[in-house]
Structure 1
Amino acid sequence: MAATETDAHQGTFEHHVLDFLAYLEFERGLSRNTLEAYRGDLLQLGASLRRRGVDLLDAQHPDLQGFLSELAEGGEGRAPASPATLQRKAACLRSFFRHLRRESVITHDPTADLRAPRKTQRLPKVLSRGEVTKLLASPRGTETAALRDRALLELMYACGLRASEAVNLDVGDVDLRHGVLRASGKGNKERLVPIGREAIAATAAWLQRGRPEVVRLRDEPALLTNLRGGRLTRQGLYKVVQRHAKAVGLQDRMSPHTLRHTFATHLLAGGCDLRSVQEMLGHADIATTQIYTHLSAERLRDVYHRAHPRAGG
């Protein structure tokens, strides 16, 4: 009996889906690709409703919102759906149920106020001060590669540089005498960023004792070069960072961008104001910078719960 009821439900569901797709094709003139995408969306919906024991014609707003939330969260070997995919699926559901209402199949619209769930914004990974110290101490010695790697890591942490900004630096972009660097960010927008004492020392050592060994007579403006004297690529920079991260046990904790996140978080934790951090990062919108205030607050809470005798940590 249960199997018969399921088969009847399935037949009814597929009938309404086919009717809807025919309407989209012949009356709305939608493309074959769109029709296939909508068909897949509705079959996913049907499977979700069956798992919940809900008949299509009885579906309510929470059932549909739950379906979208399932897709947003992923699981069971399925990656979380992208925001664009969720928006398309929500549009498909709205169009489908409005069609059912237009055809007098249902008397209510369960898609009123239906919204594609926003993906939870993951806070970026940030290194502690101790981890940064270990990483920056990894390039040891006075060999050319060590001098280059030390300058690279120190500059990225000292100035919050993106990988593309670091490899695009020319020698003329760095003023070690005044302790300032000119970075060219997204949209070729230039900004000036202060350079700290340790980064100045590492960069000076590279320029004086390392870079001349590989550049020699080449007409190469790049500040950071490979060991053949040409400009370091983003792939080359990534390998340098990963090599030293692995050497100190941080390979699972970081990428080149982690140093940028860490730069911003450590500045805010040290009392730097948000506007100044925004300017140094080259963010057009301060809302982009504000994520680092959450990171700083989390770090403060962690310290508080570990240190306060009545915090319960």
Structure 2
Amino acid sequence: MLIDDVHRYISLRRALGFKLDKTDRYLEAFTRHAAANGDSHIRTATALAWTAVVSSTPGSRYRRLQEIADFARFLHAEDAAHEIPQHHHYYRPCVRPAPYIYTSDELVRMLHAAANLRHQKPSPLRRHVHAMLIGLLAATGLRVSEALNLRLGDLLPGGVLHIRQTKFDKSRLVPMHASVVAALEAYLRVRAKVAGVDDHVFLTVGGRPMGLGTVHAAFHAILNKAKIAPDRPRRPRIHDLRHTFATRALTQSHAMRREDVARDFVALSTYLGHSEIRHTYWYLEATPHLMGDIAGAAEMLAAGVIA
């Protein structure tokens, strides 16, 4: 039966290091649908009909069909009666939105706005939490989820953060500037007065770990209070603090030799926890003046101006 083939296929790929949790669920759902349809083999028509129902966007339809096509290709090698859906017809390029790069003045205004959020009795840490969170994100380039997952044991001696099992199942060490370490220590002293037994660094009402919904709601209030891009159709995001960090790190690099530029990119890519360096190069494409700076350095190198 197809469901048994799914289990065999997923087990084989997991043995090779893939997680495939979502793929497993979707393929099981698809094969149950196919069996109810009377199919003993994978049929393109069945795959197209099923993905049209379960997928709400062209992008998700493409991904679901790609998963079925990979599975079908695996079975087709054993039994040519299995059809392989041509999922490439449904490919739509993903356009990443241009990041909003906060100015130094805007960051100062945001920190001031966070420190002056309306006081809430059930959450005496509110002002301190959001000011520290924004400051930490701006100074380290952490993902929001990485900051919210921090526990007290992840604050290592010497001002180093231990970021555990993140987006790509990788752990890394993130050193902090001395000013950030001092701010974090001050925050922890306030936290110690009101926190309960939970060891998450950032807590909300009742001493519970802070969720993304709470963070985004407070961040929108901070943007309004700080008057950050009020007329912009697409409001800046808290994730843009990460983009701002990466952009400033590249802008402030004065290395002009080719090998130095490459080393800077590798260091930044590692610091940010990118799975592939191409994700770091995206900051050049997203920020035209950075592309111009690198292009200018390359021209000088080619002309022999730079040794």
TM-score (norm 2): 0.57
Please give the secondary structure, in 1, of the residue aligned with 2:110.
helix
Name 1:290's counterpart in structure 2.
Answer: 281
Deviations 1:218-243 (A, max 9, x none): 32211111142222122222223222
Partner of 2:36: none
- Which residue of the partner structure matches residue 133 of structure 1? 108
Deviation string 1:175-216 (CA, Å, 9 cap, x unpaired) is: 4x62221112224421111212442232122111x212321x
Structure 1 pair 192/84, CA: closer, same or farther in 2 (3 Å)?
Answer: same
Q: 2:161 corresponds to which residue?
A: 181
Deviation at 1:116, TM superposition (A): 5.0
Q: Distance in 1 between matches of 2:64 and 2:215?
A: 37
Counterpart amino acid of residue 100 in structure 2 = K
| Structure 1 residue 149 corresponds to structure 2 residue 130 | yes
Distance change in 2, residues 1:31/1:86 (3 Å): closer
* Mapped contact 1:261–1:292 kept (Cα < 8 A): yes
Q: 1:243 aligns with which of 213, 221, 244?
A: 221
Whether contact under 8 Å (1:83, 1:118) holds in the other structure is no
Kindly state the Cα deviation for residue 281 of structure 1 after the two structures are TM-superposed. 0.7
1:117 Cα deviation from its structure 2 partner: 5.8
Contact persistence 1:181–1:195 (CA under 8 A): yes
Residues 156 and 162, structure 1, Cα contact 8 Å, conserved in 2 = yes
1:266, CA displacement in angstroms?
A: 1.0
Structure 1 unmatched ranges of 5 or more: 1-27, 40-78, 89-112, 303-313
Instruction: Give the stretch that moved more between structures: 28-37 or 129-138.
Output: 28-37
Aligned partners of 2:271, 2:62: CA distance in 1, in Å?
34
Separation (CA, whole Å) in 1 of partners of 2:269 and 2:237: 21
Instruction: Measure, in 2, the Cα distance between the counterparts of 1:38 and 1:235.
Output: 30
Aligned to 2:182: 201
Aligned to 1:280: 271
Cα deviations by residue, 1:143-183 (Å, 9 ceiling, x for unpaired): 732222211111111111112111110122124x6222111
Q: Residue 232 of structure 1: which of 195, 207, 210 is its match?
A: 210
TM-score by length of 1: 0.56
Report matched runs for 1:201-220 at 5 Å.
201-208=182-189, 210-215=190-195, 218-220=196-198
Q: What is the match of residue 93 of structure 2?
A: 118
3-state SS in 1 of match to 2:126: helix
Kindly provide the CA deviation profile for residues 24-78 of structure 1, in whole angstroms up to 9, marking residues without a partner as x.
Answer: xxxx984665565899xxxxxxxxxxxxxxxxxxxxxxxxxxxxxxxxxxxxxxx
Match of 1:259 in 2: 241
CA contact under 8 A between 1:87 and 1:116: conserved in structure 2?
no
The residue matched to 1:193 in structure 2 has which SS? strand
Change (3 A) 1:291 1:187: closer
Q: For the structure 1 residues 161 and 86, does the alpha-carbon distance in structure 2 shift closer, same or farther, using more than 3 Å as the test? A: closer
Deviations 1:62-111 (A, max 9, x none): xxxxxxxxxxxxxxxxx9943854997xxxxxxxxxxxxxxxxxxxxxxx
Q: Secondary structure at the match of 1:137?
A: helix
- SS of 1:223 mapped into structure 2: coil
Q: For residues 161-176 of structure 1, what are the structure 2 equivalents within 5 Å?
A: 161-175=142-156
Partner Cα separation in structure 1 for residue 216 and residue 247 of structure 2? 21
Q: In terms of Rg, which structure is larger? A: 1
Question: CA 1:207 to 1:87, structure 2 compared with 1: closer, same or farther past 3 Å?
Answer: closer
Q: Do the aligned residues in 2 keep the contact of 1:127 with 1:262 (CA within 8 Å)?
A: yes
Displacement after TM superposition at 1:274 (Å): 1.1
Counterpart of 2:85 in structure 1 is: none
For residues 83 and 138 of structure 1, do their structure 2 counterparts lie closer, same or farther at Cα, with a shift above 3 Å needed? same
Is the alpha carbon distance of 1:29 and 1:173 closer, same or farther for their aligned partners in structure 2, counting shifts above 3 Å? closer
Task: Measure, in 1, the Cα distance between the counterparts of 2:42 and 2:203.
Answer: 56
Distance 1:115 1:271, change over 3 A: same
Task: Evaluate the alpha carbon distance shift between residue 207 and residue 33 of structure 1 in structure 2; reply closer, same or farther with a 3 A threshold.
Answer: same
| Kept after mapping to 2: 8 A contact 1:123/1:291 | no
Separation of aligned partners in 1, 2:270 and 2:211:
26
- Equivalent residue number for residue 22 of structure 2: none
Q: Alignment identity in percent?
A: 25
**Residues matched between the structures, number:** 213
How far apart, in 1, do the equivalents of 2:160 and 2:290 lie? 29
Give 5+ residue unaligned stretches, structure 2: 1-40, 66-87, 255-263, 294-307
